[in-house]
Structure 1
Amino acid sequence: MTSTTLLGPALGPVGRTVGREVRAGVHWGVAHGLPTLLLRRAADRGDLQARLIRVGALGTDEVFDLVEEIRAHGPLYRSRIGYVATSHAAVRELLTSDDFRTGFPTDEGPIGRVARWAAPTTLHPVEPPSLLVTEPPDHTRYRKLVTRVFTMRAVERLRERTEEIAAGLLDGLERRADGPVDLVEAYCAVLPVTVIAEILGVPEDERGRVLDFGSAAAPSLDLGLGFRRYRTVAQALARFDAWLGDHLDRLRRDPGDNLLSQLVAVREDGQGLSENELKATAGLVLAAGFETTVNLLGNGIALLHDHPGERARVVADPTLWPNVVEEALRLDPPVLLTARMAARDTELAGRPVGAGSMVTAILGGANRDPEVFEDPLRFDVARANARDHIAFSAGRHHCLGAQLARMEGEVGLRAIWERFPDLRLDPGARRRETRILRGFETLPATLRP
Structure 2
Amino acid sequence: MTPQQPSASPASPTLSPAAAAATALFRPWDPGFVADPYPAYDALRDAGRAHWFAPTGQWLIPHHDDVSALLRDRRLGRTYLHRFSHEEFGRQAPPPEHEPFTTLNGEGMLDLEDPAHGRIRRLVAKAFTPRMVEDLAPTVRRLAAELVGSLYADGGGDLLARVAEPLPVAVIAEMLGVPPADRGLLRPWSAAITGMFELNPGAEAAALAVRASEEFSAYLRGLIAARRRDPGEDLISALIAAHDGGDVLSEQEMVSTCVLLLNAGHEATVNSTVLGWLQLFRHPGQLELLAREPGRLGDAVEEMFRYDTPLQMFERWVLDDIEVGGQVVPHGSEVALLFGSANRDPARFPDPARFDITRPAAGNRHVTFGAGIHYCLGAPLARLELAASFGTFLREAPGLRLVEEPRWRPGYVIRGPEELLVTW
Match of residue 150 from structure 1: 128
Task: Provide the C-alpha distance between the structure 2 equivalents of 1:248 and 1:352, rounded to a whole number of angstroms.
Answer: 47
2:386 to 398, 409, 414: 409
- Root-mean-square deviation over aligned CA pairs: 2.8
1:63 to 24, 30, 37: 37
**Do residues 172 (structure 1) and 146 (structure 2) align?**
no
**Do residues 319 (structure 1) and 319 (structure 2) align?**
no
| Identity %, equivalent residues | 32
Match of residue 292 from structure 1: 268
The normalised TM-score by structure 1 is: 0.84
Match of residue 165 from structure 2: 189
Match of residue 420 from structure 2: 443
Task: Provide the C-alpha distance between the structure 2 equivalents of 1:299 and 1:113, rounded to a whole number of angstroms.
Answer: 36
**Do residues 221 (structure 1) and 221 (structure 2) align?**
no
CA separation of 1:315 and 1:77: change in aligned 2, threshold 3 A: same
Match of residue 108 from structure 2: 130
Q: Which amino acid aligns with 2:86?
A: E
Task: Provide the C-alpha distance between the structure 1 equivalents of 2:312 and 2:153, rounded to a whole number of angstroms.
Answer: 36
Q: Which amino acid aligns with 1:149?
A: A
Measure how far apart 1:399 and its partner are.
Answer: 1.2
Match of residue 160 from structure 1: 138
8 Å CA contact retained: 1:57, 1:435: no
Match of residue 73 from structure 1: 47
Unmatched 5+ residue regions in structure 1?
A: 1-29, 37-41
Task: Provide the C-alpha distance between the structure 2 equivalents of 1:34 and 1:341, rounded to a whole number of angstroms.
Answer: 14
Residue deviations 1:339-368 (CA, integer Å, cap 9, x gap): 112111222345432111222111111111
Residue deviations 1:61-92 (CA, integer Å, cap 9, x gap): 43111111110112333444342221111111
8 Å CA contact retained: 2:48, 2:325: no
Task: Provide the C-alpha distance between the structure 2 equivalents of 1:51 and 1:35, rounded to a whole number of angstroms.
Answer: 21
Measure how far apart 1:407 and its partner are.
Answer: 1.1
Show the 5 A alignment for 1:253-292: 253-292=229-268
Residue deviations 1:159-213 (CA, integer Å, cap 9, x gap): 1110001111122223311xx5111111111000000101111112222222332
Task: Provide the C-alpha distance between the structure 2 equivalents of 1:346 and 1:172, rounded to a whole number of angstroms.
Answer: 53
Q: Which amino acid aligns with 1:411?
A: A
Task: Name the SS of the counterpart of 2:107 in structure 1.
Answer: coil
Q: Which runs of 4+ in 1 moved over 4 A?
A: 30-36, 45-51, 55-59, 104-107, 110-114, 123-126
Measure how far apart 1:215 and its partner are.
Answer: 3.7
The normalised TM-score by structure 2 is: 0.89
CA separation of 1:274 and 1:47: change in aligned 2, threshold 3 A: farther
Task: Name the SS of the counterpart of 2:323 in structure 1.
Answer: strand
Task: Provide the C-alpha distance between the structure 2 equivalents of 1:124 and 1:290, rounded to a whole number of angstroms.
Answer: 20
CA separation of 1:387 and 1:126: change in aligned 2, threshold 3 A: farther
Which deviates more, 364-373 or 312-321? 312-321
8 Å CA contact retained: 2:28, 2:34: no
8 Å CA contact retained: 1:126, 1:133: no
Q: Which amino acid aligns with 2:113?
A: E
Task: Provide the C-alpha distance between the structure 2 equivalents of 1:365 and 1:386, rounded to a whole number of angstroms.
Answer: 18
Measure how far apart 1:51 and its partner are.
Answer: 4.9
Task: Provide the C-alpha distance between the structure 2 equivalents of 1:133 and 1:50, rounded to a whole number of angstroms.
Answer: 30
CA separation of 1:342 and 1:217: change in aligned 2, threshold 3 A: closer
Q: Which amino acid aligns with 1:335?
A: L
CA separation of 1:444 and 1:35: change in aligned 2, threshold 3 A: farther
Match of residue 338 from structure 1: 314
- Number of equivalenced pairs: 410
